[in-house]
Structure 1
Amino acid sequence: MKYVQPLHIPALYCPIPLRQPHSQTDCIQQRSLEWISGFEVADAATLTSPQWATVPRVACWMLPWADQDRLQVYADWVCFTMIDDSFDGDQSGPSDPGALAVLGSHLIRVAQCPDSDLLPGYGWANVLRDIMARLARLGATSAQLTCLVEATRAFVLGVTWEAACHRKTEMPTIDDYALMRLNSGGMLTYAALYPMLEGYELTQQEIHASSVRALTEMAATLSSWDNDFFSHFRERSENPRPINLIEVFASAHGCSSQQAVGLALNLRDKVMSRYLRLGEQVRADASENLRRYLTGLDQMIRGNIDFSMGTERYANPYNGDPAEVPWATFPRYTTDTPSNDDPEPPPLPSITWWWKDRL
């Protein structure tokens, strides 16, 4: 068997302070895996592989201060976002993009109406139905659930678009990918869960403020792009030309994947620099609840990096001993020095509004 070799991924720029994961991470992971196994969305071998078994742990890095029962819901939701593999990666979903759109529309309706009889035999729909009911029992308000439904709509739309590109073996432009990945990474849904799982509520004015929307989008995008750096080796082991930020840059610039790493990091650090500057401005006049939300966004970015640096999900795609198969190794630290802190916006129409003077 011919093995793909991992790229060199340097330390990521992230001056957000490190927090240790939740003290009950092992227990939460085990409970999530036992729970998801009851819906028959994957076989036992898949669920026990490093690529799947470690997935719930990221929630414990992203929300380490949460009550354990509420954090369990977050970890289970992370498992739900693995549906993107059935839409795309493992090819078990419909092969026609039109059929994917129909399935996605039904899933969104299940999120809106968990008591409906839609997709009764589809395991992922039942996973979604179960979590939505649990969130309601935890006291999530109708406004909070609506925010989650809308974020889920964006997620389903994004993974459908990405699956269509894969099936056509078509590499998107950098700007198209920025918009696609904002949605397909599922991070907007993670952000929507913070208020309901921590037991606070933002006002409608806060939720819809352009500055808060921009920070939410940037945090979701940064987390998804960071996944692209860490998951590139795993994706290349499954697909010689994955749709990934690195490969999008390589295609756009006609360069090697390793050369594209630096180009992609340059854009990523520009966004991180803007996120940090705008976050500091918004915090100056923020309410206590909004400050809690912004802290959650910070931890979503930082916790995702800390999880990704040490998980076998990204290091060991061949599920083998490092003496026998290639493993990826990542720096176990971040850097406080950006590769690009230029305050000017990039020439990408889908995201330039994040740099508007009046947000």
Structure 2
Amino acid sequence: MRIGIPALYAPFPYRRQPVYRALEEACTDWLASLNPPLDDEQRKLLASCNSSAASRVFCSDIPTELLQPFHDWAVVATFFDKVILGTPPVSRDIAKMAEIVDTVMTAMESPLGKPAGEDFFITAWKSLADRIRLHAAPSVMTRWLEGHRQFFLGHLHQQALALAGRQCDLDTYACLRRKTFWAPVVPPAMEMSRGDDLSDAYLNHPELQAMSQAAQLLWAWDNDIFSYGRDFPGCLGGPEIREGQEVNLVEIIRTTYRCDLPEAFERAVRLRNQIMVLFTRLSEEFTPHDDAVRTHIGDLGRSVSGNIAFHHAHDTDWYCCAGHTSSTRPQITLGSSITDISPPEAGDPLPWRSIGWWWELVPSVPAGRNAD
């Protein structure tokens, strides 16, 4: 089944990282030095996720030496998510999952010593944190670590819903999903990659907080759209939710409105376009004097377009846009992939408690109305 969906509104242009190959080679050497105990299937998984390719389209003008730790982080984080958190028995045992992430956080937050034992992932997390700590300001390092904690808590919440066979409502999911997909880690990583510390700006400007949270939600919801065909291989049946089933924006819409898949995808794109319009309006109306803040806003905007390109890349086999062979699994196609023309209906605010305050920061936006 092939489903064509409307173009995703993403007006911030991006370009590919010109030194991507150098980043990839250095990452390969670093991983080899840790001697990861990977079997053949795990190596195939690492290749199919292609997480290192995210550096091709995220923060493409950042010097190699500053971007390298975060390129390596993307590989470890994605692989840890898939191999440890997303694989039985851990994926079906919330208590065990919580124990593992607590061990990870303890290792990362400790500025001294070596992690106990010889676990590859704990060693990798500790090594990454130590490398980044050498260059990061203490306040932004604290926010970067806090971003991991938000992700892990969000992941535990989302996995608990999946194990219970429950989908949450859209309002709750807007709050939950922006904490997953590793999204809270990325904004402080962008700052550190440029040698900046915008902690005071984030504290004093709710507009910047809103834009950062909106970008995080866009990364995650776009991931939902592209990964739906993998997460729901049997999704062409009835509207019931199965135990262990992924929590996904498209599926929440399909079960909430009892609509077919094409309509669910159209509604999902409409929602994410409303978030993108909000981000764009805030970026136009918020005019900070600090050059670093303006650059950071541009990085957030460009990362949305880059994230779409990453999911749509021909060598990122993990996502359904790469083409699945199963006739019962939807293959997602985009008419023009990305458009810089704002959809006329996408300017309306969303009335949800979790994110409705974003629109209150834009004077030209009217009061919220139904998401329908």
2:27 corresponding residue in structure 1: 32
Letter in 1 for 2:301: D
1:259 aligns with 2:254: no
1:236 corresponding residue in structure 2: 232
Change (3 A) 1:311 1:237: farther
1:153 aligns with 2:146: no
Query: Matches of 2:271 and 2:326 in 1, distance apart?
Result: 35
Change (3 A) 1:239 1:189: farther
1:336 corresponding residue in structure 2: 340
Query: Matches of 1:161 and 1:340 in 2, distance apart?
Result: 35
Shift of 1:323: 12
| 1:101-250 equivalent positions in 2, closer than 5 A | 101-115=98-112, 120-137=117-134, 139-237=135-233, 241-250=245-254
* Farther-moved stretch of structure 1 (339-348 vs 253-262): 339-348
Change (3 A) 1:42 1:90: farther
* Farther-moved stretch of structure 1 (296-305 vs 118-127): 118-127
Q: Deviations over 1:161-191 (max 9, x none)?
A: 1111221221121122111111111122111
Structure 2 residue matching 1:346: 3-state secondary structure: coil
Q: CA RMSD in A?
A: 3.1
Q: Deviations over 1:111-167 (max 9, x none)?
A: 221535656344332221111111122x21111110101111111111111111221
Query: Matches of 1:319 and 1:356 in 2, distance apart?
Result: 39
Query: Matches of 1:9 and 1:35 in 2, distance apart?
Result: 40
User: Percent identity over the alignment?
Assistant: 21
Structure 1 residue matching 2:36: 3-state secondary structure: coil
Change (3 A) 1:167 1:121: farther
1:23 corresponding residue in structure 2: 18
| 1:228-307 equivalent positions in 2, closer than 5 A | 228-237=224-233, 241-282=245-286, 284-307=287-310
Query: Matches of 2:120 and 2:155 in 1, distance apart?
Result: 18
Where structure 1 has 5 or more consecutive residues not aligned to the other structure, the ranges are none
Q: Deviations over 1:196-253 (max 9, x none)?
A: 1111222514444211111100011111111111122222349984321111111111
Change (3 A) 1:228 1:203: closer
Q: Deviations over 1:292-316 (max 9, x none)?
A: 2111111211111122222443576
Query: Is residue 106–residue 119 contact of structure 1 (8 Å, CA) maintained in 2?
Result: no
Instruction: Give the alignment partner of residue 13 of structure 1, picking from 9, 17, 24.
Output: 9
Query: Matches of 1:274 and 1:326 in 2, distance apart?
Result: 30
Shift of 1:344: 4.2
Query: Matches of 1:87 and 1:341 in 2, distance apart?
Result: 41
* Farther-moved stretch of structure 1 (288-297 vs 230-239): 230-239
1:96 corresponding residue in structure 2: 93
2:240 corresponding residue in structure 1: none
Change (3 A) 1:321 1:9: closer
Shift of 1:86: 4.1
Letter in 1 for 2:21: D
Q: Deviations over 1:295-340 (max 9, x none)?
A: 1111211111122222443576699997999965445641133446
1:348 corresponding residue in structure 2: 352
Where structure 2 has 5 or more consecutive residues not aligned to the other structure, the ranges are 237-244, 364-372
> TM-score, structure 2 length as denominator?
0.83
Shift of 1:273: 0.6
